[in-house]
């Protein structure tokens, strides 16, 4: 009996030792992983700026799945990611109401602007409302590039077309089916109009000297582009890293996280790419 107990104890120790070796990577214990999905904030580098201090603080690794808001919401609903940063208000509220997304939290914003050729063939520069700009573009059948990908940007665009009672179609209306930067550069090549977030435009001006499109319309409160974080529901997906996701959202809302968001881009691009709670458009 004693011999059996001794063998069991040895097996237990060996099992623990092997598990320890598997978890230990030579430089420290295996890092905990958080899977996040977002689009432009990752494309423009904001997520890296936020991830570095968070990873150091919690000895974890943030893995990013680059996706527009529509796809990011789908990934969260399917339990494929732990947390998302999106800008699709109606879809976000629906997700929370249905119960598969939790803790919708405002973390920062930028604004949409309409860029186009300097000579402004549709004459939108004189508009004081975004509805006017869209109506003039459609009337002139001026080239307009849509992302056409169910992203937050595409959802906002379709909301505006719907409000003015126009179904955009025809040769002048083109779809990129791509992310923001790629779509902006395609619009530049086409010499057409495009609704982009100002953050992407600022970065594009710095990185792409051949960018000829200029900002022709901005300032409508409807174009404020708010980002919210949503977390997976652990009751639906117990294997998800709800605990770390919640800590990440808390970090985003902390003084440190908000400072990173509000100042990101100042040094590299000469102006911040995002704002938090002090912008004139926010209530």
pLDDT per position as a tens digit, 134-181: 999 999 999 999 999 999 999 999 999 999 999 999 999 999 999 999
| Three-state SS at 2 | helix
Could you read off the pLDDT of 42-59 as tens digits, one per residue?
Answer: 999 999 999 999 999 999
Whether residue 246 sits in one domain with residue 185:
no
CA atoms of 260 and 273, how far apart (whole Å): 11
Q: Within this chain, do residues 115 and 210 fall inside the same structural domain, yes or no?
A: yes
Q: 24: Cβ–Cβ under 8 A, 6 or more apart, which residues? A: 30
Whether residue 30 has pLDDT greater than 70: no
Q: How confident is the model at residue 17 (pLDDT cuts 50, 70, 90)?
A: very low
8 A C-beta contact, residue 117 and residue 124: no
40 with 118, same domain?
Answer: no
CA 10 from centroid of its chain's CA atoms: 51
pLDDT at 242 over 60: yes
The predicted pLDDT at position 31 comes to 79
Q: Is residue 25 part of a domain?
A: no
Residue 115 and residue 67 share a domain = no
pLDDT above 70: residue 41: yes
The position carrying tokens 């409000």 is 163
Report d(CA 93, CA 145) in Å as an integer: 28
Task: Flag whether 219 is in a domain.
Answer: yes
Global pTM value: 0.85
Q: Does residue 120 surpass a pLDDT of 90? A: yes
Q: Which residue range(s) make up the domain with 212? A: 111-223
Ramachandran assignment for 157, one of left (phi > 0), alpha (psi -120 to 50 degrees), beta (any other): alpha
Domain membership of residue 186 (yes or no) is: yes
Q: For the chain, what is the mean pLDDT? A: 90
Cα–Cα dist 57/51, whole Å:
10
Pairing mode of beta strands 101-116, 214-217: antiparallel
Residue 173 and residue 77 share a domain: no
Report the range of poorest mean pLDDT among 21-30, 98-107, 109-118, 137-146: 21-30
Please state, in angstroms and as integers, the Cα–Cα distance from residue 265 to each residue in 46, 268, 275, following that order: 8, 5, 11
Q: Does 45 lie in the same domain as 101?
A: yes
In a domain? residue 18: no
Structure tokens at 258: 């908000």
Let me know if residue 147 belongs to a domain.
Answer: yes
Same domain, 231 and 132: no
Q: Do 48 and 104 sit in the same domain of this protein?
A: yes
23 pLDDT higher than 50: no
- On whether both 158 and 184 belong to a single domain, the answer is yes
Q: What is the 3-state secondary structure (H, E, C) of 95-110?
A: HHHHCCEEEEEEEEEE
- The answer on 212 and 130 residing in a single domain is yes
Q: 139 with 99, same domain? A: no
Distance (Å, whole) CA 49 – CA 251: 12
> Are both 123 and 71 inside the same structural domain?
no
**What's the CATH code of the domain at 129?**
3.40.190.10
Total of domains in the chain: 2
> pLDDT at residue 280 above 90?
no
Tokens for 134?
Answer: 């869209």
Q: Answer yes or no: is pLDDT of 281 > 60.
A: no
**Residue 12: predicted pLDDT:** 44
């Amino acid at each position: 009996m004693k011999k059996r107990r001794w063998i069991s104890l040895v097996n237990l120790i060996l099992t623990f030792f092997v598990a320890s070796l598997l978890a230990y990577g030579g430089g420290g214990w295996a890092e905990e992983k958080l899977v996040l999905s977002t689009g432009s904030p990752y494309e423009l580098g904001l997520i890296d700026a936020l991830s570095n201090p968070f990873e150091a603080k919690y000895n974890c690794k943030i893995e990013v799945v680059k996706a527009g808001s529509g796809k990011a919401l789908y990934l969260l609903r399917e339990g494929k990611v732990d947390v998302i940063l999106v800008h699709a208000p109606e879809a976000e509220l629906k997700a929370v109401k249905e119960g598969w997304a939790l803790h919708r939290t405002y973390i920062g914003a930028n604004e949409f602007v309409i860029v186009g050729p300097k000579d402004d063939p549709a004459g939108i520069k004189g508009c004081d409302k975004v509805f006017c700009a869209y109506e003039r573009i459609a009337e002139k059948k001026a080239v307009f590039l849509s992302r056409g990908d169910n992203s937050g940007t595409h959802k906002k665009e379709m909301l505006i077309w719907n409000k003015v009672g126009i179904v955009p179609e025809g040769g002048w209306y083109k779809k990129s089916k791509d992310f923001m930067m790629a779509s902006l550069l395609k619009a530049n090549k086409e010499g057409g109009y495009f609704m982009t977030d100002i953050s992407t435009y600022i970065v594009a001006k710095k990185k792409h000297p051949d960018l000829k499109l200029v900002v022709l319309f901005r300032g409508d409160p409807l174009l404020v582009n708010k980002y919210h974080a949503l977390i997976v529901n652990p009751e639906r997906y117990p294997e998800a890293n709800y605990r770390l996701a919640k800590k990440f959202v808390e970090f985003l809302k902390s003084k440190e996280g908000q400072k990173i968001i509000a100042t990101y881009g100042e040094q590299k691009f000469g102006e911040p790419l995002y704002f938090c709670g002090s912008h004139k458009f926010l209530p």
